[in-house]
Amino acid sequence: MQASFWQQKWQNSELGFHLPEPHPKLVRHIGRLGLKPGDRVFLPLCGKSLDIAWLLQQGFKVVGAEWVQQAVEQLFAELGVEPTITQIGQLSRYSAHQLDILVGDIFAVDADTLGLVDAVYDRAALVALPADKRILYSRHLAAISGFSPQLLISFEYDQSLLSGPPFSVSPEEVKAHYQDMFTLELLESKAIKGGLKGKCPADEQAWLLSAKS
């Protein structure tokens, strides 16, 4: 899945993945991450998610990574803030009070560029990547975030019925990617009303990943 794919999605306003409200599973389960006001939360492949504004309203700092510059420009415009833009190697950093977004390939983000994070909220990254990239991504994300706890949202459905993204990532695959690095807890699994994109039955799952001691 190349950046050009997502750029085309934004240019065509094909934003079915963009929810009109903070994700209910984030609201329900944020407390399980053990955060306190002022802690910094990382959102990989964040788009212009309303989850960002919600997290800021809760008193958290937010850092995101996003392929598509247009999405980030819209995010700051909708927040009503003017970002400071700096170049860091292959990445551009858009910054405002309590908020940093890194624009570019997430695999170009390293721990120094990301900075200290206290938790990761992955709503749309793992499920956006094809299988071969998911293997690389899960390791990369854990490494750059310092094995911080994660709240992960995934989908499970018959992949033959829908090409994705979002892709189906079964519980077995989640465990294969993460169980050697984290203790996994399935917080909830619920059928999506009307099916995924209205096309096929699917379950949406929320996972808590806690670093092993």
Task: Give me the CATH number covering residue 85.
Answer: 3.40.50.150
DSSP code at position 13: T
* Statement: residue 96 has pLDDT above 50: yes
Query: What is the b/e burial string over 57-95, where b = at least 16 CB atoms within 10 angstroms of the residue's CB?
Result: eeebbbbbbbbbbebbbbbbeebeeebeeeeeeebbbbb
Print the domain residue range for 148: 3-12+21-211
Annotated binding-site ranges? 10, 45, 66, 123
Query: In this structure, what token pair is assigned to residue 43?
Result: 């959102």
Average pLDDT, the chain: 92
3-state secondary structure of 3: helix
* Statement: residue 18 has pLDDT above 60: no
pTM of the model: 0.91
Query: In this structure, what token pair is assigned to residue 96?
Result: 């405002």
Look at 111 and 15; give whichever has higher pLDDT.
111
pLDDT band at 74; cut points 50, 70, 90: very high
pLDDT of the residue at 21: 86
pLDDT of the residue at 159: 95
Annotated binding-site ranges for S-adenosyl-L-methionine? 10, 45, 66, 123
Look at 25 and 17; give whichever has higher pLDDT.
25
Mean pLDDT of 163-182: 96
* Statement: residue 117 has pLDDT above 60: yes
Domain total of the chain: 1
Q: What is the pLDDT of residues 86-95, one digit of tens each?
A: 999 999 999 9
Q: Residue 146 CB: number of other CB atoms within 10 A?
A: 13
* Statement: residue 81 has pLDDT above 90: yes
Query: In this structure, what token pair is assigned to residue 151?
Result: 């709240």
pLDDT of the residue at 164: 87
